[in-house]
Structure 1
Amino acid sequence: MNHIIESLKGGIIVSCQALEHEPLHSSYIMSKMAYAAEIGGAIAIRANSYEDIVEIKKAVKLPILGIVKRDYDDSEIYITPTMKEIDELVQATVEIIALDATDRLRPSNVTLDEFVSQIRSKYPNQLIMADVSTYEEGIKAWKLGFDIVSTTLSGYTPYSKKGENPDFELIERLSRDTEVPIIAEGKIWTREDAVEALRRGAHAVVVGTAITRPSDITRRFVEAIRK
């Protein structure tokens, strides 16, 4: 197993992202958020956009799981959807590139198989991670040769399992039935969630909103009190 992937084992990856409409949208702020996560013991950072990643790399020495979120009119996919975003992430020298590996067409009607082939042809040594929403997508990603599979998109596609809790069943099944590390991501709100994900076989756990989105954290407290 690649030494970078091995270094993630049993750890917490903190997702430091803020989109344009969010109060903390700033590459500087995200770099400080990543630094705080590093001090707290995070073993890697998941980050969005070339600009944020460049600033974060100045602040921390941790591996970066990089994505670029970008909307295209002809596709629902927005997590690293085309080679343009792949090129940006390679230029930012991220250790791992994550991309939407769901069973949907990319912009210009590019299939996942075609996209992976393009990436491997141009950047044969780049580690890539599949963000999937179902068991079948995870199995396909493994067979296509992704280095890591993540449960990031479970509940976020029209056909995947809905619910407020992490998809522990998906984590467990993919950990059992594939030969690549499985990263648990999505709806992990508590320490107990993170521990349970690892117990179910996850190689590592990504925590985002519960750590780095104060507006959402506040909203959960407010909603609980109102109920």
Structure 2
Amino acid sequence: MTALEDDTIDDGRHCDALRDALPSFRASAARLESWGSRLADRLGRGARLLVAGNGGSAAQAQHLTAELVGRYREDRPAYSALALHADTSSTTAIANDYGVQEVFARQTRAHGRPGDVLLLMSTSGASANLLTAAGEARRIGMTVWTLTGPAPNPLEAAGDEALCVVAPVAATVQELHLVAVHMICEAFDRAIARQDGAAARVEPARYRVRVEES
């Protein structure tokens, strides 16, 4: 984890930092709802989500993909989501052969398709390998969303949409990124449930038409 400040904070101040950051973060709830709903639509039509981050953000990325490939709360179908750091053989081979800056861009080139989504997570918003991946994704025709620390930062500008957590230390940013992951998953599941409900309502009508025509 890369600290935004060198100062350490005791347990009480740690909780205070999280409390102070929550009001502005809650104002971003509509964006997270939109991301989750749009992901449900795209992944439901066969697109995939690619997610990348470094260090603690890599763990957050893998947390999100696990919730989508597995489940968040209720059982539902599996959806395509890849955490790009998780293939250690590919990641280390790319870093060795092409440089660390290419570890996510080359995988984006391999797995990404027009209409897919690339979600990049960074407390600093300045990681070179994420910025390179963002550029590659946009060249392909993917949508790029970024979760970062305080704005302005380079990654905020590199994507199509950004959610920038306003907090003075990286620990607080990462904690709220985890909240963001769960809020995306909740919105995703609600959207999937709405889709399933709509399909269930339409199917009987189609069946009645077929019966009447026969």
Per the shorter chain, which TM-score range? 0.3 to 0.5
Q: Which structure carries more helix by proportion?
A: 2
Decide which structure has the larger Cα Rg and report it. 2
Instruction: Using CA pairs under 8 Å that are at least 6 residues apart, name the structure with larger relative contact order, 1 or 2.
Output: 2
TM-score (norm 2): 0.36
